[in-house]
């Protein structure tokens, strides 16, 4: 089977869509499929082209782990500033669509969103060439960008909603990463109920193996003897990482000098947070390490005592399942889970972390101090997480289910429900039964009074 995949990001970029697409594609190629990815020149998140690449109009072609990679021209932009990023997205739409029209004919097209216009590039090529298109939805646009205030213009948001609904309608099939996303898609496009499948994020257990802390890294960063709480990922508007500064301030007031927070990554809010950390006098406790390559990220992960996963307290973010929870569990490190909804349910089912209310520095401090005072609990959470992802979120198993959906589409069949589809349906039935029981109890109590 020949797969043409549209992804705005791809290695050597190290963000979630790049990793997910690469991990799936690498296995598909090993299993005998052919895959071509149309992407941009690597520049995320700083908007600076990586060494060895040039942003020219003519596409470049290379091979990575058996995957054929076509890199197209885009207007380069960092991951901050709405107007230039929009130009970046739209330029990918035009360049990727044009490139896709001249690629050898695939059996199926997959296009991943966000960013939103990446999915539209795949749809346009599919409609013009009459090739079935599977849209992968990893985040809900435009609802998520509205939630963080990135776009406030109502007519613009209305147009994006119309494009979102059209995207769902014209896709032959939709793959999303969680049941919350699936429910949103069905609300937007009720007729698509039977063409949405869930393939969650997961982890390559062979690539991420538990290891001891890197003593040289700890020494170089003045972290010897410290309890290290790390956040690894995008430092953006949605992530609400000012909570880390407030937690550090509380710990400083309590006289705790044995805790250090690491913020590893880059994004629109990094510079502001660094400035605020200095103004609040917690810059010695909160370290900003910037964007690091994958190999070094794993070293930092292994050298941390706990990983913070956090999003702002927004109802929409209850549908988000950050991929970093699976990587953290695979490395056998506990999680402080500052995200509610489905992602929190996963971590709690795994017994792999402690919950905190989003935006609550008091909860963050309490979780850190609990893990410091109870090292046996930290060890228990760590071991449980690795076992859980091995059983439920192994990337190899997920990639097999994914390619099974693509094969069904190519053969003109309706894809069978995935394991995640069945689990989500069962969970909804249980929730419905529990809600009905509560209603009956409440109704009985009302009659009794």
DSSP-assigned states of every residue in 151-216: ---HHHHHHHHHHHHHHHHH-SEEEESSHHHHHHHHHH-GGGGGGEEE----B-TTT-------HH
CA–CA gap between residue 343 and residue 280 (Å, rounded): 31
pLDDT at 435: 46
User: Which residue ranges does the chain devote to CATH 3.40.50.2000?
Assistant: 2-202+397-410, 215-378
Burial code of 252-275, b = ≥16 C-beta within 10 A, e = fewer? beeebeebbbbbbbbbbbbeebbe
Q: Which residues pair with 307 in a beta bridge?
A: 230, 335
Which two structure tokens, joined as six digits, stand for 290? 């910037």
Mean pLDDT per block of 10 residues along the chain (449 residues) reads 97 88 94 97 89 94 96 88 84 97 97 90 97 91 57 66 87 91 86 89 87 93 94 89 96 93 90 94 93 85 95 79 90 94 91 95 96 95 93 91 96 89 76 52 53
pLDDT at 336: 97
User: What is the 8-class DSSP label of residue 96?
Assistant: H
Topology of the domain comprising 215-378: Rossmann fold (3.40.50)
pLDDT at 399: 94
pLDDT at 151: 55
- How many Cβ atoms from other residues are within 10 Å of residue 297's Cβ? 20
CA–CA gap between residue 265 and residue 87 (Å, rounded): 23
Which two structure tokens, joined as six digits, stand for 293? 């390559």
> What is the residue whose two structure tokens read 């998520």?
144
pLDDT at 404: 96
351: left (phi over 0), alpha (psi -120 to 50) or beta: left
Instruction: Dihedral sign for Cα 179, 180, 181, 184, please.
Output: positive
Place domain 2-202+397-410 in its CATH homologous superfamily: Glycogen Phosphorylase B; (3.40.50.2000)
């Amino acid at each position: 089977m020949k797969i043409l995949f549209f992804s705005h990001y791809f290695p050597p970029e190290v963000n979630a869509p790049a990793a997910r697409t690469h991990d799936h594609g690498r296995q598909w190629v090993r299993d005998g499929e052919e895959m071509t990815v149309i992407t941009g020149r690597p520049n995320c998140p700083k908007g600076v082209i990586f060494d060895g690449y040039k942003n020219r109009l003519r596409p470049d072609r290379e091979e990575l782990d058996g995957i054929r990679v076509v890199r197209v021209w885009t207007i380069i932009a960092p991951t901050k500033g709405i107007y230039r990023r929009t130009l970046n997205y739209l330029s990918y739409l035009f360049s990727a669509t044009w490139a896709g029209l001249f690629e050898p004919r695939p059996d199926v097209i997959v296009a991943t969103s966000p960013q939103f216009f990446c999915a539209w590039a795949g749809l346009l090529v599919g409609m013009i060439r009459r090739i079935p298109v599977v849209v992968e939805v990893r985040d809900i646009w435009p609802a998520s960008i509205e939630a963080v205030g990135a776009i406030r213009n109502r007519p613009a948001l209305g147009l994006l909603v119309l494009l979102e609904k059209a995207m769902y309608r014209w896709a032959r099939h939709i793959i999303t990463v969680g049941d919350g996303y699936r429910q949103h898609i069905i609300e937007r496009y009720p007729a698509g109920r039977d063409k949405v499948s869930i393939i969650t994020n997961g982890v390559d257990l062979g690539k991420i193996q538990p290891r001891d802390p890197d003593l040289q890294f700890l020494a170089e960063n003045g972290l010897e003897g410290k309890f290290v709480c790390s956040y690894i990922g995008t430092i953006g508007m949605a992530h609400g990482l000012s909570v880390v500064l407030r937690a550090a301030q509380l710990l400083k007031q309590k006289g705790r000098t044995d805790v250090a927070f690491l913020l590893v990554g880059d994004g629109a809010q990094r510079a502001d947070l660094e400035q605020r950390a200095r103004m609040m006098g917690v810059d010695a406790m909160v370290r900003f390490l910037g964007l690091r390559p994958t190999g070094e990220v794993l070293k930092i992960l292994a050298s941390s005592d706990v990983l913070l996963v956090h999003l702002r307290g927004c109802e929409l973010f209850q549908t988000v399942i950050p991929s970093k929870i699976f990587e953290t569990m695979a490395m056998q490190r506990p999680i402080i889970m500052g995200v509610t909804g489905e992602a929190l349910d996963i971590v709690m089912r795994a017994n792999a972390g402690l919950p905190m209310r989003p935006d609550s520095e008091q909860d963050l401090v309490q979780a850190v101090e609990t893990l410091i005072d109870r090292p046996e609990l930290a060890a228990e959470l760590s071991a449980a997480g690795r076992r859980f992802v091995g059983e439920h979120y192994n990337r190899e198993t997920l990639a097999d289910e994914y390619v099974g959906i693509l094969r069904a589409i190519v053969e003109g069949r309706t894809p069978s429900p995935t394991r995640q589809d069945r689990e989500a349906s069962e969970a909804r039935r249980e929730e419905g039964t529990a809600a009905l029981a509560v209603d009956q109890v409440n109704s009985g109590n009302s009659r009794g009074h």
